Structure 1
């Protein structure tokens, strides 16, 4: 996504902090969006471009740490950088364990924040790319017939065509035909590829 301008969200109840960070983000060539509360931020639909969140720990209403808990599992493509004026070790440990990229205590240098944003946006690009691959795989899998899904499950579990046929009550020739269509629809060049695809899809497979 080289031509898409990344978004950097800033959530801080201090307007002077928001304005200074907004200027810094603009100077780096990124697109800032600022919010005074977590509630305001949550009303904004998730973006479909590389993004990250610069988040103050202490906010009115929903705190920064609570906001992290709400979005961390749903928005893996949006890394979080915490900023705070009065952080402590337990607070920073909690934030980092929950997946924060950085925990910066005010006053911090522009260089430290810019470095953290660069790392976050790179992580976001990777996550979005992986999500796109997964969407494509799910689409391919949905195109399989029920029988083709049965064959795929048994094949990746390690059964030979003859064994698959015995398991499903069909001939080995029919298994080969289904298997060929599965490989084509799933864009798998080999059995190893098909196993990797099944793993990415999180399919629950029978034991050989």
Structure 2
């Protein structure tokens, strides 16, 4: 019984933390490119990157199924190269979490980088620093608060993801059932005690994560 209760919590933490790592790498990298390089179509690309913020999660889930389904280009590619499909697997839950959480990380870090005084970075370059050193020693430290905000929002979004996850990854106990989907099933089956236990667990995890990040700011 206890293992059945803990399984969605463990799964949610795994999905959220892995998604956070992925969106952190992608968000910081792409935000840096978008703030440093000017090219035609940049506004269009920026809009596409932010689109998951305003799209309903069910639409995101639908598009993921279309793309990674048996007849989708990416689905066919995975089947051809690795003889596998990620739909209704833990990796589908991770991908869904990445898609919905990425814009929050990207927008937060991009905003922080745009606020940096370019003269500081230019001074470092004049002193002989290469682009990697400028990024690591100047850009990232000066974007710390925005980065923490992005981490907080992205983790919370990944942890609470429901719509895209239940469509793309399903709700398979012990395999793809996360806390939000477990709460939904418990509520639908009138298991209010169990639903409350999972609700309190996700509140506790979110509170601890938020407290840790705020103390680090």
Tell me: higher relative CO, structure 1 or 2? Use CA pairs within 8 A at least 6 residues apart: 2
Q: Same fold (TM over 0.5)?
A: no
Q: If the length of structure 2 is used for normalisation, what is the TM-score? A: 0.29
- Which of structures 1 and 2 has the bigger CA Rg? 1
